């Protein structure tokens, strides 16, 4: 609960950080994060890495001409072609085929940009590949559907997870329900299924009822404040982050030394980029933690969060307050 709260209240700072990133992206600058195969960052600009770009074009071209993923991957591996020093994985392969950055269009968290990634693949070829992917179900992204009680439900009888799923009834209507994995996958459990909506409403309603009591609110708020005081006092997270920052800086210094002594290998540059990326991530976390430490959490904020904020978003409520739901057929 405390961590959920801290995340919620540090959103203000992360807004400021995001605004800065947005301004830089509008100027076409690279703002960190993992780089796509085929690209490198040079002076905060993304440039095409010609050797890798050739492989990207080859992959798109072969796929568009009907070669299947397995064959393409096998041939690449046989030729010793690697993706970040490992053989190409199937997932990576399909992620690449789906990625519009290769035609210069980047869908980022704060908008769509056409000025950050220089195109590697011609648009007609890219479109051709998308049409094939759409037809080929294996290539379609199998994204886990999101549902409210994801990773929270456990079967009281067999101890396995209970997942939401969608089925079609005999009359053709679509039904959503929660089903025990022990029953579905392992056939070791008799737990009956429960309608998705029924279970979710029950959990939400039960939680609302708990939050409806002033006594419960006081108990939770006191406990959160105790954790907060302790954390302000020992600064444990900040200390860990600072140690991580120093370590990341040490790695960068070592690589710099190697470069100065003329020891250069093909991986030096990649390692340097990874180290710099890591350092900037840690620095951002330190900033957020420092902000949290300066901004004393107040008891009123906790109460406000529990009595108002959380009630407006079932997701936030479940994420923050529910650790585990154990389900039986007759009790929960
Ligand atoms: Zn079960």
Rounded Cα distance between 127 and 284, Å, is 38
In a domain, 84, yes or no: yes
In a domain, 83, yes or no: yes
In a domain, 79, yes or no: yes
Contact indicator for 126, 100 with CB cutoff of 8 Å? yes
Q: For 27-68, where are the alpha helices, taking DSSP H only?
A: 50-64
Rounded Cα distance between 157 and 165, Å, is 19
State the pLDDT at residue 43. Answer: 83
Which uninterrupted H or E stretch holds 164?
A: strand 162-168
Ligand 1 centroid–CA 191 distance in Å is 5
Ligand 1 centroid–CA 322 distance in Å is 20
**Sequential pLDDT tens for the chain (332 residues):** 776 776 676 666 667 677 777 888 888 888 776 788 999 988 889 999 999 999 999 999 999 998 888 899 999 999 988 887 888 888 788 889 989 999 999 887 777 889 999 999 999 999 999 888 877 754 444 344 568 898 899 999 999 999 988 877 778 777 889 999 999 989 999 999 999 989 999 999 999 999 999 999 999 999 989 888 887 777 777 888 899 899 989 988 888 888 778 777 777 777 888 888 888 888 877 877 777 777 777 899 889 889 888 888 888 888 888 999 999 999 99
Tokens 């979710």 locate to: 200
In a domain, 248, yes or no: no
In a domain, 260, yes or no: no
Residue 307: C-alpha distances to residues 8, 84, 207, 297, 302 (Å) = 15, 48, 11, 16, 9
Ligand 1 centroid–CA 4 distance in Å is 30
Ligand 1 centroid–CA 182 distance in Å is 5
Phi and psi (nearest 5°) for 257? Answer: -60, -45
In a domain, 255, yes or no: no
The encoded tokens of residue 210 equal: 């708990």
In a domain, 82, yes or no: yes
Ligand 1 centroid–CA 161 distance in Å is 8
Ligand 1 centroid–CA 329 distance in Å is 10
- Domain with 89 in it: what CATH number? 3.90.1750.20
The encoded tokens of residue 67 equal: 């070669």
Ligand 1 centroid–CA 141 distance in Å is 29
Q: For 83-165, where are the alpha helices, taking DSSP H only?
A: 90-98, 123-135
Q: Give the range of the structural domain holding residue 128, as residue numbers without chain letter.
A: 32-139
Ligand 1 centroid–CA 167 distance in Å is 19
Contact indicator for 292, 11 with CB cutoff of 8 Å? no
State the pLDDT at residue 13. Answer: 62
**How many angstroms separate the first and last alpha carbons of the chain?**
21
Ligand 1 centroid–CA 169 distance in Å is 22
Ligand 1 centroid–CA 150 distance in Å is 16
Domains contained in the chain, number:
1
Strands (E), 255-296: none
Per-residue DSSP letter, 161: B
Residue 6: C-alpha distances to residues 10, 49, 239, 320 (Å) = 6, 41, 17, 11
Ligand 1 centroid–CA 156 distance in Å is 7
State the pLDDT at residue 7. Answer: 67
Strands (E), 184-305: 194-195
Ligand 1 centroid–CA 174 distance in Å is 23
Ligand 1 centroid–CA 325 distance in Å is 13
Q: Is the pTM of this model over 0.85?
A: no
In a domain, 214, yes or no: no
Contact indicator for 195, 206 with CB cutoff of 8 Å? no
């Amino acid at each position: 609960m405390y961590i959920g709260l801290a995340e919620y209240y540090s959103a203000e700072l992360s807004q400021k950080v995001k605004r800065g990133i947005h301004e830089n992206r509008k100027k076409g600058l690279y703002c960190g994060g993992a780089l796509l195969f085929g690209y490198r960052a040079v002076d905060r600009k993304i440039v095409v890495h010609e050797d890798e770009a050739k492989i990207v074009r080859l992959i798109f071209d072969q796929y568009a001409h009907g070669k299947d993923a397995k064959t393409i991957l096998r041939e690449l591996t046989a030729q010793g072609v690697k993706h970040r020093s490992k053989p190409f994985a199937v997932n990576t392969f399909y992620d690449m085929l789906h990625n519009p950055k290769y035609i210069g269009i980047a869908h980022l968290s704060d908008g769509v940009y056409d000025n950050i990634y220089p195109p590697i693949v011609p648009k007609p070829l890219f479109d051709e590949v998308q049409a094939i992917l759409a037809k080929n179900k294996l290539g379609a992204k199998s994204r886990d559907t999101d549902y409210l009680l994801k990773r929270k439900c456990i079967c009281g009888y067999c101890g396995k997870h209970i997942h939401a799923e969608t089925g079609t009834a005999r009359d053709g209507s679509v039904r959503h329900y929660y089903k025990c994995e022990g029953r579905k996958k392992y056939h070791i459990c008799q737990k009956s299924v429960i309608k998705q909506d029924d279970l979710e409403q029950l959990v939400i309603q039960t939680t609302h009822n708990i939050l409806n009591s002033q006594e419960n609110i006081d108990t939770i708020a006191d406990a959160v404040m105790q954790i907060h005081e302790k954390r302000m006092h020992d600064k444990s997270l900040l200390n860990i982050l600072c140690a991580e920052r120093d370590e990341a800086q040490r790695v960068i210094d070592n690589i710099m030394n190697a470069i100065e002594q003329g020891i250069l290998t093909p991986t030096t540059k990649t390692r340097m980029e990874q180290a710099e990326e890591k350092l900037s991530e840690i620095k951002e976390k330190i900033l957020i933690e420092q902000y949290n430490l300066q901004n004393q959490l107040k008891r009123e904020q906790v109460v406000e969060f529990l009595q108002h904020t959380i009630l407006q978003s079932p997701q936030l409520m479940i994420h923050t307050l529910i650790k585990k739901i154990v389900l039986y057929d007759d009790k929960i």
